[in-house]
Structure 1
């Protein structure tokens, strides 16, 4: 009887800590509108970092409370199995039940060091089936389509109101109307029966998005209004997006998490899934800032995929890394990365340094150019699905991270990342010169935009970049990154003396941009193209200029969608 009472107390405390955590999460998220209206760009970045740290702090508090209430390691499995049932009952009618289950999993995982991943004790599988649409009215606004297009837009902005005036309301309404009439034929416009918008505005960086859809009998299209704030403290509509590829890029895995205030995240994620069929459910939760629950959903997706496939894990294609061992399942869209036990002589870094670099990326604005990574401990793989050659290579390179049972390989610490085509392989195989040139232009833009986000990429060999199906180049090797002020960019000495370089004093933080052309890409033809497109990368002056902007605290904005869909704001207002 005492254990029943104790179970209720422990379950109540865990749920209380989750609820407190979500209120904290919501308070930060809700403040996004004010920060956007006031142009508090630095505060936006600080708020994003704070929101990421909430989970671990709340988890630590919850675990401490559980230890205070009970002698954890003296309780048998029956107690923990009963605790899960009690907790599940307390979640009846809870609007964030799925996030609370993940929080509960984290508590149990922390108590047992992730060695009891068992559905009888944790929510490896969800406790209930969520039916999309049951709370749809709580997360969307529907707009009258029997009126004119102009009247529909007017009604939208009567509901979505902001604390700053429009730069030019009439111009923006006209731009929106003309854009929709260009995208849809007269017959399509006449057939529109519903226009729906998610209630929360999606804030990220210097942009805000109204996200919804246009419903017609034969098709449904995304309907996204992109808003920005001008330097004159006014609001303007930057674009109307109706193409799924534009929406997909906005929700890309290399971008920072949105701030979108909702008490019904499952319904919002389900609505987004209906718009973005190519996105996994876990990616959408992560985009909403619920990255821990995204990891839970990923793991469930992984288990489902394993049940429906029979291919084997193998080393990932591409040049082997000096710091990370990378492998994949060919039929699955992620790669698994393990820190090696020993690094090559050229890598003067430690294991903790590598972890710190990955944490830095997690906490930074990834500006659409750095892949989000997800850290796991004691991740289990069935031995029967691992290629023997991979097992041997893992033993040779990462033995300290491995633990073998009779039928499983347990990897004590790894990162999971979205799979991309390594840029070096793409450039080797691609014969279309326009696509090669575009990829090299993307490579230069990627390096520049990461630098403007106050991160020096360090090792810029093209093998450390991937290219997405949209042709976007993304950086994914973080073991040598650092903040921009941690490097000293120098010019090479000008001398006829062949021994001048040998006499040059080089410090550990010195970087010589003129040497970049010799190692970013290999072939002379590719080097020449990159230099013609981004020759400034090979000058110390460029990097000094970036350092000055970063030191000044300038916050850059890089529009994620194609520039050709941006509205013309007139001669006096040129969008950046």
Structure 2
């Protein structure tokens, strides 16, 4: 006989469902208010406020979730309710979402409430939205998120129409020059016949703000192909703005939406439709990556988990230890056919690592809250994540037991990992340099390594352990840092000249403080082979000097906010 809730319990479930949705709606209004303010911060050049707003927006979710859970506990004795109550609560909540413009985000918020109450131990589709409650059909609200521009006019008139639609309370540095640059760039990209065949130019309604840049993101529609159409705009400290580039290659757009960059501020009430449009432009990007790029990183985690479950059903390979040198702090494994790695904090660290488990967590949180400037991989924290035991290589199970047993829980059919991080998979730089025979690619990788270290420092983070095994290289040849257990803010280190000695590895330990760093030693540690050392020193020899690091400290203390352009320098328009 099926259990049925009493009228009183049903009424209570309705109140709880309404309460959860109310907190989600309040959270999204808060999220929108911060996002909408990005344009004014861009116009006024309030770069420090831009960074603070980014951190505040990340914190919104946890604050709203805590408030919702607290009210649920105040409403009822949650642990006295059986599963039937929570199943009914989910059904009522799903009915409330009918016609809701952010229904998919609201489902994730509901999942977070249930997860918090049950400490993420009940991953059950009867009680949570493990699978979405409905199928989203892209295009049904397309008119709410795009502007279409007339292509029967001249190219210049089309651009003029775009800038009449997208208006900013800040003058252009040279409007006529920018229009001419844009026209020339489009004519250089498309032949006369292609230009004549353009059926539509569609641009997403929200401007995408990040750092000191703003992007109009859209596409050029032709009978046989569709190209990205991205107008990149910039500001310096002067009271004006300028068009920096026209980007029409998917590779450029992919880098702009890269996993090592901070989240965009793009104001929309229809995030599912925006994400769907972006995926049409970037078919190689996963849907969860695009939600994360829009700042909806919690929902991105939900979509990732769904994608992960789907991949398990359509693959047969086994989880195994990730390639590369074993880390001293993290145990890292992967599924060869899937594009992420799973990282677990080890139970014990090598003696050389004078840190704690909480310190490691704090470091990963610091990166989450910082401007990752395209050089630090985004990581996503999970608790009680489940893996099918029959898909895990026996050697990996043994290694996990040896290195991080306290984070493991075994059931009859599953391995539950109590706490871990997920990160995009990259080729470890040390492996890349061992295998690559093209001298130009090796030189480019080492140049990228030096630039990566420098840009992270300019973002006010000292990378700490700069061994090249702690960096990865993407398919676009970009070097990204991904090992955060020794990072800190720049002002937390004292950069000193190396005490004189005949032995380059010897230091008078009596004169060394715990925060002292000796840049002259970096050449011995960053890369191993003499050939690689010489290339790195030739390209970035200033990294091995205390003067360089002290100058960066001064800029960070002054509060200078840096901007690093995500596309190649040769794509930028020339300015006087």
Q: Which residue of 2 aligns with 1:402?
A: 408
Q: Which residue of 2 aligns with 1:375?
A: 381
1:437 aligns with 2:443: yes
Cα distance in 2, alignment partners of residues 332 and 306 from structure 1: 9
SS at match of 1:6: helix
1:237 aligns with 2:243: yes
Cα distance in 2, alignment partners of residues 377 and 115 from structure 1: 9
Q: Which residue of 1 aligns with 2:88?
A: 82
SS at match of 1:501: coil
Q: How does 1:88-99 map to 2 (within 5 A)?
A: 88-99=94-105
Contact persistence 2:212–2:236 (CA under 8 A): no
The Cα offsets for residues 354-381 of structure 1, whole Å up to 9 and x where unpaired, read as: 0000000000000000000000000000
Q: Which residue of 1 aligns with 2:78?
A: 72
The structure 2 residue matched to 1:331, chosen from 319, 333, 337, is 337
1:205 aligns with 2:208: no
The structure 1 residue matched to 2:10, chosen from 4, 9, 21, is 4
Cα distance in 1, alignment partners of residues 386 and 34 from structure 2: 35
The structure 2 residue matched to 1:193, chosen from 196, 199, 202, is 199
Q: Which residue of 2 aligns with 1:517?
A: 523
TM-score (norm. length: structure 2):
0.98
The Cα offsets for residues 341-365 of structure 1, whole Å up to 9 and x where unpaired, read as: 0000000000000000000000000
The structure 2 residue matched to 1:502, chosen from 486, 502, 508, is 508
Q: What count of residue pairs does the alignment treat as equivalent? A: 570
1:286 aligns with 2:301: no
Q: Which residue of 2 aligns with 1:266?
A: 272
Cα distance in 2, alignment partners of residues 96 and 6 from structure 1: 24
Shift in alpha-carbon separation, 1:197–1:437, aligned structure 2, 3 A:
same
Cα distance in 1, alignment partners of residues 172 and 195 from structure 2: 27
Cα distance in 1, alignment partners of residues 75 and 226 from structure 2: 52
TM-score (norm. length: structure 1):
0.98
Shift in alpha-carbon separation, 1:75–1:477, aligned structure 2, 3 A:
same
Give every structure 1 segment of 4 or more consecutive aligned residues whose post-TM-superposition deviation is greater than 4 Å. 495-500
Q: How does 1:145-544 map to 2 (within 5 A)?
A: 145-494=151-500, 501-502=507-508, 505-544=511-550
Cα distance in 1, alignment partners of residues 93 and 502 from structure 2: 76
Gaps of 5+ in 2: 1-6
Cα distance in 2, alignment partners of residues 154 and 299 from structure 1: 44
Q: Which residue of 1 aligns with 2:4?
A: none
SS at match of 2:507: helix
Q: Aligned-pair RMSD on alpha carbons?
A: 1.0
Shift in alpha-carbon separation, 1:526–1:121, aligned structure 2, 3 A:
same
Q: Which residue of 2 aligns with 1:26?
A: 32
CA shift for structure 1 position 569: 1.1
Cα distance in 1, alignment partners of residues 394 and 537 from structure 2: 43
CA shift for structure 1 position 403: 0.2
Cα distance in 2, alignment partners of residues 495 and 66 from structure 1: 66
CA shift for structure 1 position 493: 2.3
Q: Which residue of 1 aligns with 2:110?
A: 104
Q: Which residue of 2 aligns with 1:47?
A: 53
Cα distance in 1, alignment partners of residues 394 and 295 from structure 2: 38
Gaps of 5+ in 1: 571-576
Shift in alpha-carbon separation, 1:166–1:389, aligned structure 2, 3 A:
same
The Cα offsets for residues 377-434 of structure 1, whole Å up to 9 and x where unpaired, read as: 0000000000000000000000000000000000000000000000000000000000
SS at match of 1:195: strand
Cα distance in 1, alignment partners of residues 58 and 253 from structure 2: 24
Q: Which residue of 1 aligns with 2:3?
A: none
